[in-house]
Amino acid sequence: MRCLNCSSIFNSKREDALYCSDRCRVAYHRKIRNKTVTDNSGKNIPNHMKTILSLCDYSGSWSKPYKEQGYNVVRIDLKRGQDVRLLEFPGEVYGVLAAPPCDHFASAGARWWKDKGNSALLEGLSVFDACARIVLFTNPKFWVFENPVGRLKDYIGQPQWIFDPCDYGDPYTKKTCLWGNFNSPPPREKVGPIRAPSGHHSMDQWLRNQGFSLGKSRAALRSVTPEGFSRAFFNANR
Ligand SMILES: C[S@@+](CC[C@H](N)C(=O)[O-])C[C@H]1O[C@@H](n2cnc3c(N)ncnc32)[C@H](O)[C@@H]1O
């Protein structure tokens, strides 16, 4: 990982470490206080000084274009051993991408909502709320939450943008909503979804065509942010 202050490469047991030393942490925050790092447009900030917090990001797919362009990408996911609810204040943040779990929100699981009861819903909302807390107190230049069509809108209102992965070149449908403060990514390289046997999702068929066997890993595979969308989002928000 790269130190936010001195840009040197360093190793840390913590995946979300931002500074190579306490000295750098203090120096960085002193610079921010003296307003030598940021300007209002963000244009004059070198990419490695722009921190992108990618929350609930296991695959790294959404944040990959930022990483490739040298941004300081910090990925947080329970499967990486980090609970976003315990994330400490990260300091200056340029952008937040958040893909909190949809298990208790997505319409696809609506038939189980009643049996699961409020405790499952509270669990889902607590992860969402933690991401929202980080956005509120870091006040990034752009921020965005992603979730499939479902009941999240009952708690945070209507989304600003809805897309299918095939709008950005990945040939399957999975209606996905975005909320936040960001530039909507215009569709590009739009394709039609591939044909699937009746009663099957085009995404499942697409995954099979890629050589994945579904079964237990189906949910995890389906939750990976589509690459075409990730590139389009990056182009609209950099
Ligand atoms: C809907 S998936 C999003 C996956 C993402 N689009 C990707 O490409 O990896 C939700 C993710 O949230 C993570 N997650 C669940 N609870 C979490 C928590 N308390 N803190 C951090 N991550 C959490 C899961 O491990 C999962 O990777």
- Ligand 1 in contact with 125 (CB < 6 A)? no
pLDDT of residue 37: 46
pLDDT of residue 109: 84
- Ligand 1 in contact with 76 (CB < 6 A)? yes
**What CA–CA distance (Å, rounded) separates 54 from 73?**
7
> 94 and 14, same structural domain?
no
> 46 and 27, same structural domain?
no
> 159 and 50, same structural domain?
yes
Strand order in the sheet with 95-98: 72-76, 51-55, 95-98, 142-148, 176-181, 161-163
CATH (domain of 145) = 3.40.50
- Ligand 1 in contact with 83 (CB < 6 A)? yes
> 24 and 128, same structural domain?
no
Distance of CA 88 from the midpoint of ligand 1 (Å): 18
Ligand 1 atom 19: the closest Cα is on which residue?
A: 83
**What CA–CA distance (Å, rounded) separates 131 from 102?**
14
pLDDT of residue 166: 97
pLDDT of residue 81: 95
Quote the number of domains for the chain: 2
> 46 and 32, same structural domain?
no
**Cα–Cα distances in angstroms (integers) from residue 158 to residues 99, 142, 147, in the given order:** 16, 18, 12
pLDDT of residue 151: 93
Distance of CA 80 from the midpoint of ligand 1 (Å): 9
> 52 and 67, same structural domain?
yes
Q: How many CB atoms lie within 10 A of CB 34?
A: 8
> 16 and 6, same structural domain?
yes
Distance of CA 188 from the midpoint of ligand 1 (Å): 27
What are the pLDDT digits (tens) for 53-93? 999 999 999 999 999 999 999 999 999 999 999 999 999 99
> 212 and 170, same structural domain?
yes
Cβ pair 179, 159 in contact under 8 A: yes
**What CA–CA distance (Å, rounded) separates 223 from 213?**
15
> 43 and 14, same structural domain?
no
Distance of CA 33 from the midpoint of ligand 1 (Å): 33
**What CA–CA distance (Å, rounded) separates 114 from 5?**
49
- Mutate which of 58, 126, 147 for ligand 1? The one with the most ligand atoms within 8 Å of its CB, which is 58
CA atoms within 13 A on the CB side of 140: 27
b/e code 138-156 from CB counts within 10 Å (16+ = b) = bebbbbbbbbbbbbbeeee
Distance of CA 127 from the midpoint of ligand 1 (Å): 9
Distance of CA 27 from the midpoint of ligand 1 (Å): 32
Q: Which domain range does residue 113 map to?
A: 39-236
With CA atoms as reference, report the closest residue to 64 among 236, 222, 186, 228. Answer: 228
> 124 and 29, same structural domain?
no
pLDDT tens per residue, the chain (238 residues)?
777 778 788 888 877 778 888 888 888 777 655 544 445 566 678 999 999 999 999 999 999 999 999 999 999 999 999 999 999 999 999 999 999 999 889 888 888 888 888 999 999 999 999 999 999 999 999 999 999 999 999 999 999 999 999 999 999 999 999 999 999 999 999 999 999 888 889 998 999 888 888 888 888 899 999 999 999 999 999 9
pLDDT of residue 101: 95
b/e code 215-235 from CB counts within 10 Å (16+ = b) = eeeeeebbbbbbbbbbbbbbe
**What CA–CA distance (Å, rounded) separates 141 from 116?**
37
Ligand 1 atom 18: the closest Cα is on which residue?
A: 83
With CA atoms as reference, report the closest residue to 70 among 36, 46, 100, 41. Answer: 46
Shortest-distance atom of ligand 1 to CA 127? 19
> 83 and 17, same structural domain?
no
Q: What is the mean pLDDT of the chain?
A: 90
Q: 90: buried, middle or exposed (CB in 10 Å: 19+, 13-18, 0-12)?
A: middle
> 124 and 9, same structural domain?
no
- Ligand 1 in contact with 224 (CB < 6 A)? yes
b/e code 45-68 from CB counts within 10 Å (16+ = b) = eeeebbbbbbbbbbbbbbbbbbee
Q: How many CB atoms lie within 10 A of CB 175?
A: 13
Distance of CA 78 from the midpoint of ligand 1 (Å): 6
**What CA–CA distance (Å, rounded) separates 100 from 24?**
31
